[in-house]
Structure 1
Amino acid sequence: MYSLTPVTQPTADTKHPLLLLQSHHGDRYFFGMLAEGSQRSLTENRIRVSKLQNIFLAGRLDWSAIGGLPGMILTLADQGKDSLTLHYGSDILDYIVSTWRYFVFRFGLSLRTNVMKDQQVYKDSLLSVKSIVIQGGDLGVNSKEGGLFTEEEKSVLQSIVSNMFPKHAPTSRYDPSSDLHLNVELPNGFEMPQTTTSYEISFKPVRGRFKPEEAIRLGVPKGPSFGKLASGQEVILPNGTIVKPEDVLEKERHFPKVLVLALPDDSFVQSFQERFRNYPCEDLGLVYYFLGEDVTINEQIIRFMELFGESIQHVVSHPKVCPNSIAFKGAAMTVLKLKAMQMDCYNLPRTETVLSKEFYECFDKKLEEGTTLHQVQETPVTSKIPTSQVHVFTQNSEIQIESFTKGDEKMKIKLDQTPVKAWSWEYAFKKHVKPLNLCPASVEQAMQAKGDYNNFNTAEKSQNVEIMTLGTGSALPSKYRNVISTLLKIPYAAAEGKMKNRMVLLDAGENTIGTMRRNFSSTALQTIFKDLSLVYLSHLHADHHLGIISILKEWYKHNKHKDESLLYIVTPWQYNKFVNEWLLLEEPDLLKRLKYISCEHLINDSYLRRETRPLSLDEYLDVFRSKKQKRRKLEVNPNSSLRELPAIRSMLRDLNIASFQTCRAKHCNWAYSCSITFFVNSFSRRVFKVSYSGDTRPNIEKFSKEIGYRSDLLIHEATLDNELVEDAIKKRHCTINEAIQVSNEMEADKLILTHFSQRYPKVPQIDNNVTVKANEYCFAFDGMIVDFEKLGEQKAIFSKLNKAFLEERKEEEQEQTL
């Protein structure tokens, strides 16, 4: 028996479908896209992937489709997985993995990439998977015949991938940008291929049951001969009679074939129709349609589905077919409890759904309450496929495939759809919040009235600094805290009293965009991205930046038609290389609108470290062919120690910043803390100073006493509880007390503590800390909206916080005992 379980469906926080195929013995395979949020979805749904060996990537590999893959690989490696193979139908795969070389590296994991040309087959002891590579849109886009890269370029890319995952550990101070094998210029001058990869899955038949009575009747002696026949070998009896396996075995049992078809947009529909017009369907039992948001649900796509006949099962994934369900219910429950205690400090995650009128009426599917229907064609669509054979791809629906005897039995496909109560804030409040007596009855009424209300960037707070802690966890996404990301709104009163907002993003871990989509309406989101002027990255650890590419793309979506719009990005220099290599694939025009400044060039020091110059492809090939690598060292770029003063001056002027300084953080190579001093109006020298630690050990000398001294606001990591100071030293993080000491020495006016270890998913250590000298302070939770003027109001609910999460703590303790 095999089961097929949806891990993610298209929602606001998990953009694409991911399917888990599992054997009876626990062997696991992924098919589909690994969007940001996929890893968190596994945690949320308690899906274990210890036996995962193969990931079959489907569709087109833009960042939205694979943004969750680098984090997933790092987590699998940290869990001790020793081998993993990524499959895809284009050699763009090696390029994509190579772009991660400065921040994804793990020893002990053998990561392989398998480029599967059209109709190529992968086989193992359980199944065979055939790739289906289909061209869409413009047929002349691929830049080089026979693939995107020359044989030499392919060998360099494969070498980089293998060296990102060395068998033995490098030194603890390892820096990938100083590694000859990794700091290499990647090929350029090509475009993302206009192809999509789909798959046909065939399962190995099960040999029929051995019939001992029949073997005895034919004169076969008991013993080794029985074993031979049972394993499929013929036996010669002493009298010369040949007994064949089929004489003593029941009929072979088969499994239905499965198709996973990924259509990115309308330009592919015709190609798919042509490819599958004469497809042999007699062994086919199940088709998954992974339709991108640019595929129109209309007559054409329904006719394509009908090519496979009326007897098979059809499962459809599309943003206008799959409901926008709450994917991370644990985190949503946390927000509900916190909102009950601090009404104006949280937005309830939004669940509005726009679904296809054509699909839902054609197949007579039940609609969730609060759904809006979207119509694209005037005449209704009809179909010969029975309604009972068409299913919506949702997380609560598992399909089981069992073996059957061809000719004697029907295919055995069982849909196990657990009925899930539609998400209701009222029901969740009554069941999980009301019994805790966290708030008066008036709050319950107010929450129902203001369920859709946005508490960030409101008219009443137009002149106030606001902070939204989008993610507050460390290392990897968990059930209750996503990885780190902080959004600042710093208003500026221009001439004639006109208010202008500067939105600043301090780090953006994986799926920051998903959190924003859940928290804001499309109108509010548009306002935030039009005001977004600066993205800052503290260091190269993946939990701080895997969400940045999605943020850049979203910014461009809202600003591409405003020629004067620029976005400043301040990052370690290696990350700028990744941004350039990635956006050349997806959005080359966006690169013209980004103004990059190296964190090193804002350092409060006369000495600037120089960047290492990457080897060109030719140099790389020359070095490794001639075996000179042991004698060769990477050269530094002498010009990189000269501050980019024009870009820095332009940023200070455009964003009305008085000063922007960094200092080296005590964490890893090329890690920084920063302090930014903003002018608050055009008619005085009044300023607002914010300091952000990033990840670091306590840095009193450079951070507290120099660049951050007397900050109005300090946002500091407080990864570990106070008794774990040895862990903090080993991992180069701070305990809560150490973060408070940094604030005290800085004489910061107000303090936000964030970046908590995921071993404390709900409430960090609030009591028994050293005295906080800042006027006000608070502990960050995901989705928390902090009005700077009222930052200390959380103190009033400290006593209730531990009580609020008793239910989750019990659940966690039970899980640990299983």
Structure 2
Amino acid sequence: MTLDSIYMLMKSRIFIASVVCLEFKRLSSNSVSHNLKKVLKNMPKEVKHTAALQKQRQKLKEKNQKYIPGTVTLKVLGSGAKGAARSLYVFTDQSRYLFNCGEGTQRLAHEHRMKLSKLEHIFITHRSWENIGGLPGVALTIQDVGVPEITVHGPLGIDEIFKATRRFVILRDLSVKMASCTADTHFEDNVMKVSYVPIEPAAENLNEKCTSYASNGVNSVHQSTIKTTDEDDDVDYYAHERKMKIGVDSKEVPRKQMRTDAVKVQTPQGNGTSMCYVCRLQSRPGTLCLEKCVEKGVPPGPLLGKLKSGEDIVLKDGTVVHSADVRLPDDPGPVFIVVECPSVQYIENLVNNQLISQYQSSAVKEEDMASLIVHFTPQHVMTDPRYKNWMDKFSISTQHLILNEENSCMGSVAVHRVQYKLNLLHPHLFPLLGDKSIKLADNMLDSNLSNDKMNGDEEIDRSTYGNDSVSCFRGKTFDLVHLRPKKMWDRQGELTLSPKSFINETYEAEGFLETLNKLKQDIEQMEQNITSQESDPQISFLGTGSCIPNKTRNTSGILLHISETDSILLDCGEGTYGQLVRLFGPEKADNVLLGIKAIFVSHLHADHHLGLIGLLKARRKVIDKQPKTNYIKPVFLIAPQQIMSWLSLYHWNFEPITQEILLVPNAHLDLKHSTINEEVKKDVLKSINMQEIFTVPVKHCPNAFGIAFKHTNNWKLTYSGDTMPCPQLVDLGQGSDVLIHEATMEDELLDEARIKLHSTTSQAIEMGKKMNAKFILLTHFSQRYAKIPRINENFSQNVGIAFDNMQVRFSQLPLLPLLHSALKIMFAEHYDEMEQKTFRRLMKQEQEKDSVKV
């Protein structure tokens, strides 16, 4: 019996049953009681209010605070490698603490099931994106799980990140508090006492540092021109060769105050204080030894509790039993120190800090010697002789955990698992990832990966950071340091990849091998008619999910390779730079960054632009390594002009960033009302070798745009951004070779798609048909379709599904529809679950319709 026949049978039986039931109720009750029952039936079910849940949570918290936890462990969440988050998770059986929250922390926590529901304190060492880039995403996550309040510890002004992002990160049910962190204050709870150790750059370097912002060529924003007219609601943000014209949002500065003459702009404040943390676990009484209690004649009962709490007791025969005689030794509480010395300017004040020196080998008491130092310090600072000498002064028993850019662990196994499976379908469309930082568990080694490279993150040569007494380890995701009950380093849970098991999982799917063989034959036959050239444009998908990242689909990011060296980035969700490093590998990713000539941001939702600062900072680091004669212009940022409100706030409150971009407002490229300056337009088109670039406003949110690029080789690509079906986009994309269109919802969720201003898969395909697009690529899937969206009869020969880390040249697009059957079998379990959910949803809708009819 087919699924359709089962559905029709169930539908008819349910309909008949509902009719009988309703008729019986009608006959057995008068109209008043019937109406009352109807009202009661349709009343919404009582749901616990958020305040009630938070109150319950508070009671549980107060109860737990009476006890000192018996287990305290430090876990590396993000190693700090290029493109990876850097964050350290401290957890007990009662509470959680996070030290630094780099971009991508949320995704790693989700993949490795590090629950954030008990997280209430985040400690930030320094005001840099590497430490705070993940705060907005993590805040949204903990808000969703019912955390009422989060306290952020760190240098003054860290909480400005939440104010700066309030337009696109909405925290209605989460209160963010900023702790007062000075040398005279501390944080303390039942787990540990944290002393704040603020470190300032050396006084003689302060003026030098501030001056560098204003005099470092392209790294400065010293002179600005504010230019506008009464008729122009948008402001052109554009700089030509090292000179920048900065527009000012009209909401922030009244028009009458705007001037056309040059004005001096305040130099952005330096990164300022670096906050180190000296953390001592609370002393814990030794556990009661029952054998010794029996020897002393202590009877079972309340006397055991008194001994356990430290009281001496007197037995009936007058014998005094001392608590110290029947308990194991007390645990005074080990010390661990979290340090970041952002640059060499901070070294002198760090190494001479008296509070930290109390925990070096010169400490009076053994328990005062630090058990662990966690270094978020950059590599070039750690190798400074002064820093190395400071590390030497700690005890030989002190271990050093390093979380910085010299690490290599990206921390994700899930992305490799999916890629190994997809690689079976086509090795060029789904290449194995360039990230080689996780060990292979079996003998199926990649030909480009040696055992030496795989073991690169083990214990470091001690002479690198000091003498032979310094024990240093590079952090990897899932590394553990147990502080209680027993101090020990633990790498038993180290991440590994098992390609054989990934592939065998797929081969075991019923019918997959037969389908794969048929697919390979079809591909081979089609590829005989494909003439692919290196000049053929290529699309690399870095993120194909919506809203929040999950372990298999990151948020929006698409790289359009217009040549072997140059590219355009379409949207830049959180973690986009990390995806670049995963796909291309750390070295090749640097070249890709240099080749990005333009970045298009479709609209100002966080899942489309929150990765921009991290990517721009990474690009700057690569540029700084180039010969000074090799001048590389800032990247063109084609985006809503309102993005400058966010970028400027970050620029002035945290780190200089606006010098990295040349902003071209989306509205200035409007298909019907283009207002872009001709000089600017000429420069943009030349830099990316285009004939034309046009945008149109789309139906999603204020200042949301779609875009079309027409290349000098006459190919045309249209990108929808986020939108529901939009006639303006059809006009924009007429005759496109490729339409990349969002397909957030399946067809059965049309109402939800309409409410959220998104498109269903069939609507996206219909848009492509209306604009006569030669090929339609669907992306931006709801995270309910984590592995594959539902495929229907509208998925014709010119419709393909995008996956993270998929690379496809224009000439290879016809291959994508051939994959649909194999994909459904490869992800059969996930696909069947979606089908069942859809079936149940349809049945429920039919029942509701039938009830209304009756």
**Superposition TM-score, scaled by structure 1 size:** 0.72
Task: Give 1:656 shift.
Answer: 4.0
Could you say which residue in structure 2 is the equivalent of 1:336? 420
Mapping for residues 271-310 of structure 1, pairs under 5 Å: 271-275=349-353, 276-279=356-359, 280=363, 282-283=367-368, 284-297=370-383, 301-310=387-396
Per the alignment, residue 195 of structure 1 pairs with 273
Query: 1:571 aligns to what?
Result: 639
Q: Is 1:488 the equivalent of 2:560?
A: yes
CA distance in 2, matches of 1:783, 1:293: 30
Within 5 Å, which residues of 2 pair with 1:577-588? Answer: 577-584=645-652, 588=656
Matched to 2:426, the amino acid is Q
Q: C-alpha separation between the residues in 1 aligned to 2:581 and 2:795? A: 38
Shift of the alpha carbon at 1:763?
A: 1.1
1:472 and 1:707 map into 2 onto residues whose CA distance is: 23
1:622 corresponds to:
none
Q: Is residue 69 of structure 1 aligned with residue 69 of structure 2?
A: no
Residue pairs, 1:71-150, within 5 angstroms: 71-88=137-154, 90-136=155-201, 139-141=204-206
1:725 deviation in Å? Answer: 1.4
Matching of residues 230-245 of structure 1 within 5 Å: none
The residue identity in structure 1 corresponding to 2:539 is: I
- Please name the residue that 1:736 is paired with: 761
Q: SS at the partner of 1:130?
A: strand
DSSP-derived class of the 1:345 partner: coil
Counterpart among 799, 809, 822 of residue 777 in structure 1: 799
Cα shift at 1:129: 1.2
Structure 1 residue 572: Cα displacement: 1.2
In structure 2, what is the equivalent of residue 754 of structure 1? 779
Q: What is the Cα deviation at residue 423 of structure 1?
A: 3.7
Q: 2:732 maps to which residue?
A: 707
Show structure 1 runs of 5+ residues with no match. 146-176, 236-243, 356-365, 404-411, 447-458, 492-499, 609-641, 681-686, 814-818
Distance in 1 of aligned mates of 2:121 and 2:696: 42
Contact (CA 8 Å) 1:93, 1:115: kept in 2 or not? no
CA distance in 2, matches of 1:318, 1:144: 23
For 1:5, the aligned partner's letter is: K
Q: Which residue of 2 aligns with 1:494?
A: none
- 1:143/1:508 CA distance change after superposition, 3 Å: same
Q: 1:730 to 1:81 in 2, by over 3 A?
A: farther
TM-aligned CA deviation for residue 650 of structure 1: 3.5
Between the aligned partners of 2:719 and 2:160, the Cα distance in structure 1 is 34
Distance 2:644 2:508 in 1: 50
Instruction: Find out whether 1:513 has 2:591 as its counterpart.
Output: no
Q: Does the alignment pair 1:24 with 2:93? A: yes
Aligned residue in 1 for 2:105: 38
Could you say what secondary structure the match of 1:461 adopts? coil
Matched, 1:401 2:423: no
How much has 1:531 moved relative to structure 2? 3.0
Q: Cα offset for 1:541?
A: 0.7
CA shift for structure 1 position 592: 4.5
- Residues 751, 778 of structure 1: 8 Å contact kept: yes
Query: Given the alignment of the two structures, is residue 665 of structure 1 paired with residue 698 of structure 2, yes or no?
Result: yes
Q: Displacement of 1:669 after TM fit?
A: 1.8
SS in 2 for 1:729: helix
Matching residue's letter, 2:718: S
Question: Who wins on radius of gyration, i.e. which is larger?
Answer: 2
Q: Residue 24 of structure 1: CA displacement?
A: 2.0
Q: Say which is worse superposed, 340-349 or 561-570, in terms of deviation.
A: 561-570
SS at match of 2:340: strand
Compared CA separation, residues 672 and 418, structure 1 to 2 (3 A): same
Instruction: Map residues 618-633 of structure 1 onto 2, 5 A cutoff.
Output: none
> Is 1:254 the counterpart of 2:332 in the alignment?
yes
* Structure with greater proportional helix content: 2
Whose strand proportion is higher, 1 or 2? 1
Shift in alpha-carbon separation, 1:328–1:380, aligned structure 2, 3 A: closer
Instruction: Tell me if 1:477 matches 2:542.
Output: no
Q: CA deviation at 1:418?
A: 1.1
- Residues 532 and 812, structure 2, Cα contact 8 Å, conserved in 1: no
Map residues 369-384 of structure 1 onto 2, 5 A cutoff. Answer: 369-370=453-454, 383=467
Tell me the secondary structure at the aligned position of residue 93 of structure 1.
Answer: coil
Structure 2 residue 115 is the aligned partner of structure 1 residue 48: yes
Q: Is the 8 A contact 1:264 1:293 kept in 2?
A: no
Equivalent positions of 1:414-813 (< 5 A) are 414-418=488-492, 420=494, 422-423=496-497, 425=499, 427-428=500-501, 431-433=504-506, 435=508, 461-491=533-563, 502-521=566-585, 524-559=588-623, 561=628, 562-563=630-631, 565-584=633-652, 588=656, 591-592=658-659, 594-605=661-672, 644=677, 646-680=679-713, 687-699=714-726, 701-704=727-730, 706-766=731-791, 768-770=792-794, 772=796, 776-806=798-828
- Rounded Cα–Cα distance in structure 2 between residues aligned with 1:23 and 1:128: 14
Find the residue that maps to 1:528 and give its secondary structure.
Answer: helix
Residues 714-771 of structure 1, C-alpha deviations (whole Å, 9 max, x = no match): 10000111111122122211111111111111211111100011111111112x2436
Instruction: Report the Cα offset of residue 530 of structure 1.
Output: 3.4
Residues 469 and 108 of structure 1: CA distance in aligned 2, closer, same or farther (over 3 Å): same
Contact 1:604–1:661 (CA<8 Å) still a contact in 2? yes
Give me the whole-angstrom Cα distance separating, in 1, the residues matched to 2:411 and 2:462.
Answer: 33
Moved more, 434-443 or 727-736: 434-443
Q: 1:351 to 1:530 in 2, by over 3 A?
A: closer
Deviation at 1:536, TM superposition (A): 0.6
Is this contact kept in 1: 2:742–2:780, CA < 8 A?
Answer: yes
Cα distance in 2 between the residues matched to 1:138 and 1:581: 26
- Deviation for aligned residue 1:707: 1.5
SS in 1 for 2:165: coil
- 1:539-560: CA deviation from partner (whole Å, max 9, x where unpaired): 1110111111122233334456
Change (3 A) 1:75 1:421: closer
Shift of 1:370: 4.5
Instruction: Compare 49-58 and 665-674 and name the one that shifted more.
Output: 665-674
Residue 642 of structure 2 aligns to a residue in which SS? helix
Q: 1:139, 1:194 within 8 Å by CA — same for their partners in 2?
A: no
Pick closer, same or farther for the CA change 1:656–1:732 going to 2, 3 Å: same
Which range is displaced more, 293-302 or 730-739? 293-302
Q: SS where residue 401 of structure 1 aligns?
A: strand
The one-letter amino acid paired with 1:7 is L
CA distance, structure 1, for counterparts of residue 550 and residue 732 of structure 2: 33
Question: How far apart, CA to CA, are the structure 2 residues paired with 1:38 and 1:728?
Answer: 29
SS at match of 2:552: coil
| SS of residue paired to 1:544 | helix
Q: Deviations over 1:633-679 (max 9, x none)?
A: xxxxxxxxx75554334423544433322222221222122222222
Instruction: Assess if the C-alpha contact under 8 Å between 2:351 and 2:387 holds in 1.
Output: no
TM-score (norm 2): 0.69
Q: State the shift of 1:693 in Å.
A: 1.0
Does structure 2 conserve the Cα–Cα contact (< 8 Å) formed by 1:137 and 1:194? Answer: no
Note the aligned Cα RMSD (angstroms): 4.5
Say if 1:392 and 1:490 are closer, same or farther in 2 by CA, change over 3 A: closer
Cα contact 2:391–2:466 (8 A) shared by 1: no
Residue by residue over 1:758-796, the C-alpha shift from the partner in whole angstroms, topping out at 9 and shown as x without a partner, is 111111112x24364xx6221000010011111020222
CA distance, structure 2, for counterparts of residue 468 and residue 478 of structure 1: 19
Question: For residues 784 and 367 of structure 1, what CA distance do their matches in structure 2 show?
Answer: 28
Letter in 1 for 2:769: N
Alpha-carbon shift at residue 538 of structure 1 (Å): 0.7
- 1:100 partner letter: T
Deviations 1:499-535 (A, max 9, x none): x864111101111111111222455434433332211
